[in-house]
Structure 1
Amino acid sequence: MMKKLQKLGKALMLPVAALPICGILMGLGYAIAPGVMGVPGAATSGALYNIGFLLIKAGGALIDNMAWLFVIGVAVGLSDDRDGTSALAGLVSWLMMTNLLSTGVVTTLMPAIADDPVKTLAFDKIQNVFIAIIAGIIGSACYNRFKSAKLPDWLAFFSGKRCVAIVTGLVSIVVSVVLLFVWPIIFGALVSVGEAIIGMDGIGAGIYAFLNRLLIPTGLHHALNNVFWFDTIGLGDLSHYWAGDVTGQNGVTWSLGMYMSGFFPCMMFGVFGAALAMIKTAKNKKAAIGLVLSAAICAFICGVTEPFEFGFMFLCFPLYIVYAALYGIFTVITYYVGFRAGFCFSAGATDLVFSSFLPAANNTLMIIPLGIAAFVVFYLVFYFAITKFNLKTPGREDEEADFAEADKNATLANNDFTAIAAAVLEGLGGKENVASLDNCITRLRIEVKDGTQVNEKKIKEAGVAGVMRPSQTAIQVIIGTKVQFVADEMAKML
C-alpha cells in the first residue's frame, strides 16, 4: 500500500510543480489590491487595483482549478506508458462523476436531499481534489487494462485505446452511484464532529485545526470549514470577523478568530521550517529546493499550502499526520496566548496585515514569537522524523536519490540514443517481452514478462554503465543523466 501511495505521490509532482508561482501571484495581487477580498476602506478601482486584480485572476486560474490538474497528473502518472489517452480517460471520469454527483442531479434523483442542508452542502463541494484523484486512478486503471483490448469485427473501430474512454465512463457511473450514498454519510459525520467540539474552547479549536489539515487530501475539510468559518449552524468565525464584529456582539459568544488564528504561525513560518528540514535531509537537494522552497514562499505570502502538502503527503503519509498534529498544537497555543487574526483567503502574510486593522484582531505582534517557535518546532520535528525513520520526502523518494548520487558519473559509450535503446531492447528479449518502461533520474526501470529471455551481457554491450536486477522480472539499466533521451527512444520502439 505504501509503495502505491508513493507512486501516486510521484504522479502528483508534475501538477504540484505548477502551483507555487500561482500562489505567489495571488499573494502579490491581494497585497496590491486588498479591495478584491473586501477589506474595509480598500480601493475598488484604479490602476493598482486593476494590476492586483489581474495577478489574482492569473494565479487563481490554476489554484481555483487545481482538481483538473490533479486529474490529468494522476491519470498520466499512473499509466504504464504515459500516453495522453490516459489523461483523456481521467478527464472523462472527472466530468462524469462531478456531473452525476452535482447538487442539481442528485436532488432530482433523490428529492429528499434538497430538504437536508448538510447533504446538499456535501454535494455542493463535490468538485474537490479527492474526487479528482479517484478520477485519475480510474482513468489510468482503465487505460492500463483496456489499451490493447480487441473487440469483435463489427466493433473493431472501438478496439484498443478507443475503448478506454468508453469503459472509463461506465466504471465512473458505478463509482458515482456508490458515492451517492457514501459521500453524504461521511460529510455529515464530520459536520457532527465539528458541532461536538464547539464547546471545548482552545482544545476544540486545536482538534478542528488538526482535522482540517488531515482531511485536505480528501476534500472533506470543507465539512468542518462550513461549521466553524461560515454561518452553517450559527457560528461563522470568518464571516463575523470580516464583518467587523467582536466577541459579545451580534451573536458572537466565542472568542472571535479562534478558529483561524492558529493557522498563521504554521502556514507562514512552520511550513518554512518543515521545508528547510526536507532540504537538509534530501539526497537530491536540487529537486527538494525546486519544489519545497518555492512552495514555502507561496505559503508565507498568501497561505496556499497545497503545493507543499501534496508534495509529500502521499510519499510519506505518517509524516503528514505529524504535520497536521502540529497545526492542532499551535492552534491551542494561539488560543491561550490571546493572538487573534483572521483570513479572507488563507493564513498568509497578506491576510495577516489586512485583518490586523479589524476590531477582533488582538496581539498581532505575537506572530513574531509564535512564528519563530513554529519554525523551530516544525524544523526539529521534521528533521528528527525524516532521519530517524528514513522517511520518503521530496529528494528522498524510493531509491532515486541514491541512484542520482551513485550514478552521477555514469556515462554512455556514445550519444546515439536510438542505437543504444535498440540494443538494450534486444538484450531485454525484444519489445514483446517488455511489460512496462519507466525511468528515474539516472536509470531505465523495466518490467519484463519472462526474465529468462534477458541477456545482461548484450545490454552492457549497448554502451550503458551497468545493469541491475532487483527481481527476476525487474531490470534497471544504469544510463546516467541522459536517461530521458534513451527512455524516449525506447518508448517509440515499444
Structure 2
Amino acid sequence: MSDKVLKTEGQKKVKAEGVKNNGWVTFRNSMSGIFSKLSKAFLLPIALLPIAGVFLGVGATIAANTDQGSFGWYLGSVMNQMGDVCFGNLPILFAISVAIAYTEDSGVAAITAVVGFLVLNGIQRGLITTDDSVTYKLLWWNSIPAASITQNVGITSLNTGVFAAIFVGAISAIVYNRFHKTQLPAFISFFSGSKLVPIVVFVAVIPLAFIFMFVWPGIAIGLQWFGVNSGKLPGGVDSWIFEIIERSLIPFGLHHVFYAPLWWSEAGGSISDTFLDTYLNKIAESGVINLEKLKADFSPSFFAALGLSDTGTAQLSVVRKAFYDTFDSSNLWGTMGDQTIMFAVLAQKTVKFTDIAQMGLNLGRFQSGKFGFMLLALPAAAVAMWLNVPKENRKAVMGIYFSAAFTCFLTGITEPIEFTFLFLAPWLFYGVHMPLASISFLLMGLMQVHITMTVSGGFIDFIVFGLVPNQMGTNWYHALWIAALMAPCYFFAFYFAVKYGKVMVPGRDTSSGEAQLFKKADFKAKKGGKSSKSEDQIAKATKIIEFLGGEANIKAVDSCASRLRLTVVDSSIVNKDGIMSLGGATGIIAKGDSVHVVYGGEQEVIKPHMREILAAQRAEKIQK
C-alpha cells in the first residue's frame, strides 16, 4: 500500500476519531448544563424552607408547651401549620421551579407546571383502589404499601417524592419553549401562543402518568431496600459515605441533585419501612411481645399513645396495629426521606426522634453532620488562612475572611470560604476539607444527633431545629462538642497546609496586588465618586458581558444561592481574569457551555442588570 493511501486513511481515521470525541464532548457538556440548571431549580423551593422551617419548629414548640385552647396554643398551632404546609407541598413547588429554571423565569411555564402536576395525579387517583387503607392496588400492582401512596395537593396518588414533579416541570418547560410563539389557524387563533402551552401539557403528561404507574412501584421497592439497609450499616458509616460524595459535588454545583432522593424519598428511609422491615422483625421472635420491655424502649408520650398496658404481654398483631394507628394519627406513617420525616416529627408532639431511632432509623444522618464543620470548623479555617497573610496586609483583608467566617457560622453558607481555597489549591478542598467534613458526619451519625436544617447547618438552624425542639430528642449537646472538636482540627490543618504548601490565599502574595483589589470599591466610595450604587452595578454587569465574549456568546443568565450561572456558546473565550478583576468574585468554574462565577449574594443584583443590558443590545442589533 502506498504512503499516499496510508496517509489518506490515517487522516480519515483521525477525522473520524475527532468527530467521535467531539460528539462525546458535546453530549457531556450538554448534560452538564442540564444538571446545572436542575441544581439551580432545586434552590428556588429550598429558599422558601428557612422561613417555613422557623415557623414549623418554633410553632410546634409553643403549641407543645402551652395549654390547649390558650392563646399560645393557637399561635403555635397556626405557625406550625404555616410551616408544615410548605413542606407538605414540596413536589408541586419543585414542578414550578423546574419549569421556571428552563424557561428564563416564565410565569406561563409555572402555571402550566401546576396544570400538568394536577392532571398527572388525577389520572393516578382514578386508577388507585384499596380495601383496607394499608395496601393499595394500581394496574397490575396488587400490594402497594401505604408508604408508596400519599396525598399530593389533596389527591390520593403515588408517593414519588419530587421525582414526578421534576419530570412535569421539565415537560412544561419543553412545551413552553416549543409552542409559546406558535400561531394557530384563524378559526382557533384564540388559543395561539402562550394559551396553547397548558393545553399541550394537559395531554403531554398522560403518557408520563402511565409511565410512573408502570414503573414507580418497582422503583419504590428499590428505594425502600436502600433506605432500610443503608441504615443498618455500622454507626455513622452511612453518614460518612454520604458526605464524601456530597462534598465532592460542591465544586460542580450538583450536590443538590445528589441529596434530593435522600432527603425527600424512600432512599432516605421511611417510618413504615423501618417498622415493618426492621423493628417488627426485632420484636417478633415468638409472636408475643413483652410490654415492659416495649415501654422501656420508647418515650412516655409515644408509649402512652400506643394505648397498650404497662405490664404483661400482647400479641404481635395487636402491637402492630397500635403502632400503625399511632403513626397514622400523627401523619407519620407514610412519610419518607430524611428531611421530610424530621419536619413531620416536628409538626406533632407524640413521637420523638429518639423513638424512631430506637426502631432503627437514625434521622438526621444525611443532615446533622454539617453542624459539626459549619458552626466553628470552617470559620476556624478562615482564621487560619488569614494568619498566613503577612502582618502588614492582614488589616486590609480582614473583612474578607471574617465576614465569610461569620456568614458560615450564622447561616451555614460555606462557598465564600470553600471557593477561596478550592480555586487556589484544589488539593486543600479534596485532601483536607472533604475528609474532615466526612469525619464530622461520621461522628454525628455515631452519636445519633437528630438536628434537621433548611439549607445549611448554621447557628440559626441549630437554634431553631436543635435547641428549641430539644424535647423531641435532638441530642443537640453532642453537636456542640463535635463542633468544638472539629474547630482546632480545621484550624491547624489549614494553617500548616497553607503555610508549607505555599498557597497564595488573598493578601499573602504582595506582588499580585490582590489585597488592593478587595479594597477597590471601598476606595471609590471614600473618594466620593458621583456614580450611584445602581450605576456601578450596571457598569459592572456591562463589563462582565464584555469579558464573557459579548452578547453573541451568551445564551442564558441565571443565578443560585452564591453563583452567577451563565450558559455561553464558547467558554474558551471567556476572560476569567477580567471578571475577577472587577472584584466581589471568589472564583470561576468554566466547563463546557457553563460558566459559574462565585459571589456571596451580589449575583442576585448582577443577574437582572445583565438580562436588561443583553435585551437592549439584542433589540438594538435587530433594529440595525
TM class by shorter chain equals 0.5 to 0.7
Aligned mates of 1:152, 1:379 — CA distance in 2: 71
2:137 pairs with 1:106: no
Aligned mates of 1:197, 1:482 — CA distance in 2: 43
Deviation of 1:353 (Å): 1.8
2:143 pairs with 1:116: yes
Instruction: Specify the alignment match of 2:212 in structure 1.
Output: 179
2:468 pairs with 1:353: no
Equivalent of 1:10 in 11, 21, 40: 40
TM, length-normalised to structure 1: 0.59
Instruction: Specify the alignment match of 2:557 in structure 1.
Output: 438
Compared with structure 1, are the counterparts of its residues 240 and 154 closer, same or farther at alpha carbon in structure 2 (3 Å cutoff)?
Answer: farther
Deviation of 1:185 (Å): 0.0
Q: Structure 2 regions of 5+ residues with no counterpart?
A: 1-30, 131-135, 151-157, 243-257, 284-293, 321-353, 383-399, 414-428, 453-463, 499-516, 571-581, 584-589, 620-624
- Aligned-pair Cα RMSD in Å: 6.1
Deviation of 1:49 (Å): 1.1
2:94 pairs with 1:70: yes
Asked if the contact 2:374–2:408 (Cα under 8 Å) also holds between the matched residues in 1, the reply is no
Compared with structure 1, are the counterparts of its residues 220 and 321 closer, same or farther at alpha carbon in structure 2 (3 Å cutoff)?
Answer: farther
Asked if the contact 1:444–1:476 (Cα under 8 Å) also holds between the matched residues in 2, the reply is yes
Compared with structure 1, are the counterparts of its residues 97 and 193 closer, same or farther at alpha carbon in structure 2 (3 Å cutoff)?
Answer: same
Aligned mates of 2:88, 2:187 — CA distance in 1: 44
Deviation of 1:107 (Å): 3.5
Deviation of 1:161 (Å): 2.4
Aligned mates of 2:488, 2:312 — CA distance in 1: 38
Equivalent of 1:485 in 609, 612, 615: 609
Instruction: Specify the alignment match of 1:158 in structure 2.
Output: 191
Counting matched residue pairs gives: 413
Aligned mates of 1:384, 1:378 — CA distance in 2: 10
2:321 pairs with 1:203: no
* Aligned pairs for 1:26-45 within 5 A: 26-34=56-64, 43-45=67-69
Instruction: Specify the alignment match of 1:57 in structure 2.
Output: 81
Instruction: Specify the alignment match of 1:24 in structure 2.
Output: 54
Asked if the contact 2:95–2:168 (Cα under 8 Å) also holds between the matched residues in 1, the reply is yes
Deviation of 1:57 (Å): 1.9
Determine helix, strand or coil for the equivalent of 1:33.
Answer: helix
Aligned mates of 1:146, 1:281 — CA distance in 2: 51
Give per-residue Cα distances to partners, 1:70-118, cap 9 Å, x unaligned. Answer: 2222211221x3221121222222222222234x533499656684142
Determine helix, strand or coil for the equivalent of 1:99.
Answer: helix
- Matching residue's letter, 1:203: P
Aligned mates of 1:384, 1:214 — CA distance in 2: 31
Give per-residue Cα distances to partners, 1:19-49, cap 9 Å, x unaligned. Answer: 11221122111221116xxxxxx73221221
Asked if the contact 1:275–1:293 (Cα under 8 Å) also holds between the matched residues in 2, the reply is yes
Compared with structure 1, are the counterparts of its residues 49 and 484 closer, same or farther at alpha carbon in structure 2 (3 Å cutoff)?
Answer: same
Aligned mates of 1:70, 1:13 — CA distance in 2: 9
Aligned mates of 1:326, 1:476 — CA distance in 2: 28
2:273 pairs with 1:227: yes
2:507 pairs with 1:368: no
Instruction: Specify the alignment match of 1:271 in structure 2.
Output: 371
Aligned mates of 1:380, 1:476 — CA distance in 2: 30
Percent pairwise identity: 20
Aligned mates of 1:447, 1:213 — CA distance in 2: 27
TM, length-normalised to structure 2: 0.49
Equivalent of 2:70 in 19, 31, 46: 46
Instruction: Specify the alignment match of 1:167 in structure 2.
Output: 200
Aligned mates of 1:101, 1:209 — CA distance in 2: 38
Deviation of 1:293 (Å): 4.3
Aligned mates of 1:333, 1:272 — CA distance in 2: 12
